Amino acid sequence: MTSLMVDLKDIPTIQSVEITDDTLSVDLVDGRTIAVPIAWYPRLLQGSAKERQDWRLIGHGAGIHWNQLDEDISVKNLILGQPSGESQPSFQRWLSQHQAAD
């Protein structure tokens, strides 16, 4: 039996980001592309197309930040296939505030 070992010290940085109504795709500087469903990130799923496009790289390309959605996603979590760990009560508070602002 083999096991996957990930050396978290050598995580590549983000080169580019593309987000659609269904998918977050990230091109890494090592040539890999990682695509995940935005349903993994409820704040992205609930955000408008305009809000989803308002992102910036953080940590010299170690992650992505959406200011209007108050969402941060790291390359590490994308590589490890980890969806949002936000609790349901926290998300519901955010959603109530987000909808009230619209």
At residue 50, φ and ψ (nearest 5 deg) are: -65, -45
Closest CA to 94 of 77, 64, 69, 63: 69
CATH number of the domain where residue 26 is located = 3.30.2020.40
Residue 1 resides in a domain: no
Residue 5 resides in a domain: no
Residues 27-71: pLDDT tens digits?
A: 999 999 999 999 999 999 999 999 999 999 999 999 999 999 999
Q: What angle do CA 55, 60, 61 make, to 5 degrees?
A: 55
Q: How far is 65 from 9, CA to CA, in rounded Å? A: 21
User: Which residue segment(s) compose the domain that 96 sits in?
Assistant: 12-101
Total tally of structural domains belonging to the chain: 1
Residue 31 resides in a domain: yes
Residue 67 resides in a domain: yes
Residue 3 resides in a domain: no
Q: What angle do CA 39, 40, 45 make, to 5 degrees?
A: 40
Tally the residues of the chain.
102
State yes or no: pLDDT of 87 exceeds 60: yes
Residue 81 resides in a domain: yes
Q: What is the pLDDT, as a whole number, of residue 100?
A: 87
